[in-house]
Amino acid sequence: MSEDDAFMQQALTLAREAAALGEVPVGAVAVHAGRVVGTGFNRREVDKSPLAHAELLALDAASKALGAWRLTGVTLYVTLEPCAMCAGALVQSRVTRLVFGAMDPKAGAVGSLYNLAEEPRHNHRLQVTSGILADESRLLLKAFFERLREKKRDK
């Protein structure tokens, strides 16, 4: 198993934790020099916060662990393509690399709708690797939304 696969497996475990809380199953793991320095999973409903995205929580934990807002040398692993808010945070925090699983055709801002991570007008761009364990990520999301639709039908 590659290092990318191993850290993405950790992100998938976090995504499952989110799903268990009734949150959209997205997990994120921040890695610096081969060790995990921050993790997060979606908590918008639990925390009642529009900012409680997996990526932002992992970046916040990483900045505290590293004692810096500049996250140069950090790779963020996330199960779903980041939205515009999260992609902007990746750029602003100077993350070096993003690795994600499934594309998000409705809100993705790292290739689907926009590409903020590689926008040439920004003063920082990050390396992007997509499609790592994409099927697992996609199936987790699909199952979550199918259960949600079933609950709505049953009401």
Which active-site residues does the annotation give?
55
Residue 42 identity (one-letter amino acid): N
13 CB burial (10 A radius; 0-12, 13-18, 19+): middle
H helix or E strand, kind and range, residue 40:
strand 35-41
In whole angstroms, give the CA distance from residue 143 to residue 20: 12
C-alpha triplet 85, 15, 152: angle, nearest 5°: 90
Q: State the DSSP string of 27-70.
A: EEEEEETTEEEEEEE--HHHHT-TT--HHHHHHHHHHHHHT-S-
H helix or E strand, kind and range, residue 127:
strand 127-130
First-to-last alpha carbon distance for the chain, in angstroms, is 44
